[in-house]
Amino acid sequence: KNGIFPVDEKAEAYMKEHSKRPYKVYEADEDAVYDEEYTIDLSTLRPTVAFPHLPENTKTIDEVGDITIDQVVIGS
């Protein structure tokens, strides 16, 4: 249910500005072999929020609007 993407300059700049503790960037080995590769324009993806009580009960951030978040769970 997730994907790991290379860190670009934009992500690195964001982390340097907003991170409150040290972080480590992980990269694939230079000689890594993949079964398949996909090219995805990440700017077309919208952040998604899961609502109670099922992980598939989701809305995009655009649909959520301005709400107060009381609890966050990362993962499922």
Please write the tens of the pLDDT for every residue from 12-70.
999 999 999 998 888 889 999 989 888 889 889 888 888 888 878 899 988 988 888 88
Q: In degrees, to the nearest 5, what angle opens at C-alpha 23 toward C-alphas 36 and 43?
A: 45
Look at residue 58 and tell me if it is in a domain.
Answer: yes
Residue among 3, 71, 68 nearest 37 (CA): 3
Look at residue 3 and tell me if it is in a domain.
Answer: no
What is the domain range of residue 57? 9-64
Look at residue 39 and tell me if it is in a domain.
Answer: yes
Is the C-alpha dihedral spanning 5, 21, 68, 51 positive or negative?
positive
Q: Residue 68 in 3-state DSSP?
A: coil
- Residue 4's H or E segment, with its range, is none
Domain count, the chain: 1
Residue 46 φ then ψ, to 5°: -110, 135
